Amino acid sequence: SGVQHGSWSWYIITACLDPVCGTSEGRSGAERSLMCCRFKHFSFLQVEAACSLRTTVRKDPFLWRRFNFSLPVLQWAGSLTRSSWKQLKSRPPPYGWKGLPGKVLQASLSLLNSSRLFDQGSPGRCVRCAVVGNGGILRGSGQGRNIDDHDLVFRMNGAVIRGFEEDVGTKISFYGFTTNTMKHALSWYRSDGFTRVPQSPEIKYIFIPSDIRDYVLMAATLRGQTVPSGRDRGDRPWTYFGHKPPGDFRMLHPQFISYLTHRKCSLCHRKGTRTCESGSVCLQVSAYGFITNNYADFSDHYYDSVPRPLRFFANHDLQLEGRLWEALHHRGLLWLFQRGGGGGGR
């Protein structure tokens, strides 16, 4: 299914926000259903922008009391430590490194030279980010210019743009994927116009390590070699990404994925909301093309040539996801694009 349904979009949005969340051990049942995140201590936050989510959280005692952080968002060369190996060797991907040959892990991470998603820029400046899904709510929305006006734009999987520029924009700063979803998107959405992975000098790529394929492809990509083994053996990474330096690639951290996976389901239940979001990187985040309460008013995807209803899948609770976006929007932790079936916008 598409990005709107793909549960990996959750990780891209939270990576964009750069959340790092603490544990809920020792808390009461009610507390365990609440939020527990905190901003990282990057130096640029010493001069805090008035628009930052930290400001939003500070004004809300309910949120501020539960902010705590310890988990890394990205893997890089510095992630290869004895303590990390001890912690992750017994957990299979995407939650750990179990079953990954040491040579593959070393090759895939040793050349990743940044633990940050992107350079922070001027202290005190509001970095505005847009994350774009493929929901039908975008068709006819006229949001292309608003999307492109953001400092950074994140897209995923089947990011169809040609013919829909007025609604979804053209700007791409980051493209996120798993090897599996990327290759399926190239097959499933070819007839819709997604004929190749986006390429340009400005684009950076975010690998989501769902299994060993992602580590193997990352290693081959960073070394400019064909994929040596596995299901993707013989693939030439440069046909997907072009010839780019290691600094243009990122990979999410298993601890980050594990935390979000195990906390997401309690996010919007009953009275409490566990909204694992914070804004130490993107100080303002807008989400376009994701499920809203009136999803039935729109086609499944914005590029559908014939309108079709949103499909629900047993392995992805879209209703929960809708409540999640609404909760984050309500508390001011992100801005969710919504409109009536007849039109509207920001």
Task: In whole angstroms, give the CA distance from residue 142 to residue 144.
Answer: 6
Taking residue 84's Cβ as centre, other Cβ atoms within 10 Å add up to: 18
On whether the CB atoms of residues 40 and 117 are closer than 8 A, the answer is no
What is the predicted pLDDT for the residue at 316? 63
Q: CB neighbours of 16 closer than 8 A, spacing ≥ 6?
A: 117, 129, 131, 152, 154, 174, 281, 282, 285
Q: Could you tell me if residue 343 is inside a domain?
A: no
Q: Could you tell me if residue 215 is inside a domain?
A: yes
Two structure tokens written together for 295 = 């999803």
Low-confidence stretches of the chain (pLDDT < 70) are: 1-8, 10, 13-54, 57, 62-70, 120-125, 262-281, 313-317, 341-346
What is the residue range of 252's domain? 8-336
- Angle, helix 179-188 to helix 212-223, in steps of 10 degrees: 90
Task: In whole angstroms, give the CA distance from residue 295 to residue 299.
Answer: 8
What is the predicted pLDDT for the residue at 42? 31
What is the predicted pLDDT for the residue at 343? 44
What is the predicted pLDDT for the residue at 187? 95
Q: CB neighbours of 145 closer than 8 A, spacing ≥ 6?
A: 166, 169
What is the predicted pLDDT for the residue at 221? 97
Ordered strands of the 152-156 beta sheet: 74-75, 249-252, 204-207, 174-177, 152-156, 128-132, 284-288, 335-336
Task: In whole angstroms, give the CA distance from residue 148 to residue 173.
Answer: 10
Q: Could you tell me if residue 3 is inside a domain?
A: no
Two structure tokens written together for 283 = 């100080």
The pLDDT tens digits for 212-237 are 999 999 999 999 999 999 999 999 99
Q: What is the CATH number of the domain that holds 105?
A: 3.90.1480.20
Chain-centroid distance of CA 12 in Å reads 0
Q: Could you tell me if residue 1 is inside a domain?
A: no
Q: Could you tell me if residue 184 is inside a domain?
A: yes
Looking at the whole model, is its pTM more than 0.85? no
Q: Could you tell me if residue 329 is inside a domain?
A: yes
What is the predicted pLDDT for the residue at 72? 85
Task: In whole angstroms, give the CA distance from residue 181 to residue 168.
Answer: 20
What is the predicted pLDDT for the residue at 272? 35
What is the predicted pLDDT for the residue at 281? 55
Q: Could you tell me if residue 2 is inside a domain?
A: no
How many structural domains does the chain have? 1
Q: How long, in residues, is the chain?
A: 346
Q: Could you tell me if residue 145 is inside a domain?
A: yes
- Give the H or E element holding residue 183: helix 179-188
Task: In whole angstroms, give the CA distance from residue 312 to residue 68.
Answer: 34
